[in-house]
Structure 1
Amino acid sequence: MKMKELFDLNGKVAIVTGASKGIGEAIAYFLGRAGAKVVVSSRKQDAVETVAQKYREEGIECTAIACQMGDMEAIENLVSETVKVYGTIDIVVNNAATNPVFGPIIESDLSAYDKIMDVNVKGPLHLAKLAYPYLKKSENASVINISSVEGVTPGFGLGLYSVSKASLIMLSKVLAKEWGPDSIRVNTICPGLIKTKFSQPLWTNEKIMKQVMAVQPIKEIGKPKDIAGLALMLASKSGAYCTGAVFTADGGLTI
């Protein structure tokens, strides 16, 4: 097999959530450039349509479908509309996430917990389950869940977020074990500090950045493309023997 063929996604259909900006937008672009037909999804239709139009101008076959990942009916619509347009689903990237609180868990309430778990865990599970009948028919089907290093080693102030991301890691492992016989691979990517709008409160905080760079071997913030390249590997034949794995891309922060 030629090197190019290892990363070739021609004929594949991919759903990427949280794709209007940051990591999700970069992943959608990388998959599209590799030949996949990409459904870019996020909360607001105008935001994903802007991304889709930009990608179409570069020759990527792309469809924009708004979806709030805490809304189970919206997820059902995302899957049904994707199948209506493209007929199947080969790749699912659960990237959308939320974190409405910052501070000790003792100061949080159950409504925040419910919102975080709905978007970060329940939504990805529901999407994966709805996509399952199509993934099962696909050759080299792949589910990629974007967790966080916070799900591996919790940091101060992100307790509920850490709980949700640790849950997502275990969800990936469970699905990998249960769906492996159906030739569906399920893997997790745990980004460290990536320069996105979502993480802006962290990388604009001089005190936090000083603490991070004091222990992180690579002395710089990651970029969305650093995660997108790893996602492309896991979505393609080059990652054909990877399932149930947890990949950190954090500049060595968790060493």
Structure 2
Amino acid sequence: MAGLDLTGRTAVVTGASRGIGLAIAQAIAAAGGNVVLTSRSQEAADAAAARVGGTAVGVGAHAVDEEAARRCVDLTLERFGSLDILVNNAGTNPAFGPVIDQDHGRFAKTFDVNLWAPVLWTGLATRAWMGEHGGAIVNTASVGGMAFEANIGLYNASKAALIHLTKQLALELSPKVRVNAVAPGVVRTKLAESLWKEHEQAVSAATALGRIGEPADIASAVAFLVSDAASWITGETMVIDGGQLLGDALPFREGAGIGL
């Protein structure tokens, strides 16, 4: 599809040193786009950019550091002349356990990175370029923002808020800027290790499509959402979870006589 071609467009992807963020950067570059990857350290950002290759540039910028974010946006415009795509991918989850057992520091860090950072970067990108020239923004949410799970309630609350924020921003920034989100299920990343590493087979068996996700599964959806092929889509949250949100698939397979 010609609409998937991103040649001549420039994307900033936050939290792109590994996992889903790196895969998104690689997918955008593969579609012809220029990519600026951010990470908390310059070294990690440079290493990620080297893995993407081509015109990719790494920038050391903690997602909640406003001055670093501003420098990144300025550098992007100086280097490439536009900022057409923003992927707010940086995320964290320092709060594990019941919600009432968490302290304010963990709460603040979770919501600063998962919710404030997308507001910060979206504002900077819009004022610097997209507000006048148009653009596409994708926020990395989670299926956790649509359900309830033990021990990661604060993280899920931040992602639920991000889903709501996506719709709010889609209205506020229309018609120039499209704002969407992706909601991954359990994906093979370091951030989600506690959800799959010790019991991947069980999680896969309970998933309708029979496996956990890979970063590339999310990246291909993001590349679609920021492309012209999705030019009439805004305010949406695309669930990419292999059917995990549907519930345990195993009883349905057994009832239909389908073997694993």
Q: TM-score over 0.5 for the alignment?
A: yes
Alignment correspondent of 1:252 = 243
* Distance of 1:154 and 1:135 partners within structure 2: 35
Alignment correspondent of 2:92 = 98
Q: Which amino acid aligns with 1:237?
A: D
> What displacement does 1:138 show?
2.9
* Distance of 2:151 and 2:198 partners within structure 1: 13
- Are the counterparts in 1 of residues 25 and 52 from structure 2 also a CA contact under 8 Å? no
1:156-196 CA distances to partner (integer Å, 9 max, x unpaired)?
A: 11011011111111111001011112x21000100000001
Alignment correspondent of 1:234 = 225
> What displacement does 1:54 show?
2.7
Alignment correspondent of 1:136 = 131
Q: Which amino acid aligns with 1:205?
A: E
- Are the counterparts in 1 of residues 205 and 211 from structure 2 also a CA contact under 8 Å? no
TM-score (norm 2): 0.90
> What displacement does 1:51 show?
1.7
- Are the counterparts in 2 of residues 148 and 189 from structure 1 also a CA contact under 8 Å? yes
* Distance of 2:154 and 2:77 partners within structure 1: 34
- Are the counterparts in 2 of residues 16 and 41 from structure 1 also a CA contact under 8 Å? yes
- Are the counterparts in 1 of residues 141 and 182 from structure 2 also a CA contact under 8 Å? yes
> What displacement does 1:251 show?
1.0
* Distance of 1:178 and 1:39 partners within structure 2: 25
- Are the counterparts in 2 of residues 217 and 251 from structure 1 also a CA contact under 8 Å? yes
Q: Which amino acid aligns with 1:230?
A: A
> What displacement does 1:209 show?
6.1
1:36 aligns with 2:33: yes
Q: What pairs up with 1:47-62 in 2 under 5 angstroms?
A: 47-56=44-53, 60-62=54-56
TM-score (norm 1): 0.92
Name the % identity: 38
C-alpha RMSD of matched pairs (Å) = 1.4
Q: Which structure 2 residue ranges, 5 or more long, are not aligned? A: 247-260
- Are the counterparts in 2 of residues 202 and 209 from structure 1 also a CA contact under 8 Å? no
Match of 2:7 among 10, 14, 29: 10
* Distance of 1:70 and 1:39 partners within structure 2: 17
Whichever of the two has the greater Rg, that structure is: 2
- Are the counterparts in 2 of residues 15 and 92 from structure 1 also a CA contact under 8 Å? yes
> What displacement does 1:69 show?
1.0
* Distance of 2:71 and 2:107 partners within structure 1: 25
Q: Which amino acid aligns with 1:151?
A: G
Q: Which amino acid aligns with 2:16?
A: A
- Are the counterparts in 2 of residues 75 and 123 from structure 1 also a CA contact under 8 Å? no
SS at match of 1:65: strand
Match of 2:115 among 112, 115, 121: 121
How many residue pairs get aligned? The number is 245
- Are the counterparts in 2 of residues 70 and 115 from structure 1 also a CA contact under 8 Å? no
Match of 2:195 among 193, 202, 226: 202
Q: Which amino acid aligns with 1:176?
A: A
> What displacement does 1:237 show?
0.5
Q: Which amino acid aligns with 2:34?
A: K
> What displacement does 1:84 show?
2.3
* Distance of 1:15 and 1:252 partners within structure 2: 29
* Distance of 1:203 and 1:12 partners within structure 2: 36
